[in-house]
Amino acid sequence: MMDWLLSTQNDAARLPALLWQQGWLRAGWAVVLAWCAVGLAGRFTPSRTVKIVLAACAAVWVGWPGPWGAAYWLGLAFQAPSVTTVLLCALWLLRRLSGSVDSRPESRVWSGSAIVLAVYGVASGWVLLMDTLGVFPVSLFNMGFGAAAPAIVITAALLIWGVQKAVYSVQEVCALALGVFLFMAFRLPTGNVFDAILDPALWIALHIALLWQWSLRVQTKS
């Protein structure tokens, strides 16, 4: 087993083309900032037109060339967002712009499948953090550059689905698999599969979201 783990780290790293990297940096942050702008606007106005204008302004600001553009500073501070973050923000952005967001209090409580996915993301982040501290005998993060990395991620997702069939749907496993297959096609954002499914911002957000869900459930029970 140890020999196999070591062999997966000897694969030549396949990095994305520079053009793809620069395009993803701008497109990814444009989606994330557009979602943030629409989310903040929703607290002050229900106007769909205002939300679309703010989302467009955020996207233009990200794509502006040079140090005047948001992508320049976001790239220096946080690099590129993960594929998972961009897909989630794009989904939430479409829901807000279409007016399909459920505003009822009970809708704020997540389903069991969402909780399982969030816990999966938090646990994965802690494992990668311990990996950077040299806790494990091999570097798990370096395995993310190898050819076996997508298969490892999909296998982990299927194992969790097998344990949590009652709350973990086939559609969610397919969504994670889709993100991995997109990574296999374009190697975005860094050529490492772990950067494609999780980034520090998403990891921290999952911690906050789980604490918020715990407080909601406590309030609901009381």
Digit-coded pLDDT (tens) for 38-60: 888 877 877 888 888 888 999 89
CA distance 40 to 28: 19
Does the residue 184 lie in any domain? yes
CA distance 161 to 167: 8
DSSP class per residue in 96-142: HHHT----SGGGGSPPHHHHHHHHHHHHHHHHHHHHHTT-SSS-HHH
Residue 138 has what pLDDT?
80
Does the residue 4 lie in any domain? no
Triad 55, 60, 61: Cα angle to 5°:
95
Residue 174 has what pLDDT?
63
Last residue of a domain, one of 59, 85, 101: 101
Last residue of a domain, one of 101, 128, 161: 101
Last residue of a domain, one of 72, 101, 130: 101
Does the residue 5 lie in any domain? no
Residue 145 has what pLDDT?
81
Residue 136 has what pLDDT?
86
Which ranges of the chain have pLDDT less than 50? 1-8, 166-168
Triad 154, 16, 158: Cα angle to 5°:
5
Give me 194's structure tokens.
């772990």
Give the type of residue at 22.
Q
What single DSSP character describes residue 81? P
Does the residue 198 lie in any domain? yes
Residue 84: domain span? 15-101
Task: Judge if 150 and 173 occupy the same domain.
Answer: yes
pTM recorded for the entire structure: 0.79
Which residues have a Cβ under 8 Å from the Cβ of 89 and sit 6 or more positions away?
A: 31, 32, 34, 35, 81
**How many folded domains does the chain comprise?**
2
Task: Judge if 210 and 177 occupy the same domain.
Answer: yes
Task: Judge if 116 and 205 occupy the same domain.
Answer: yes
Does the residue 219 lie in any domain? yes
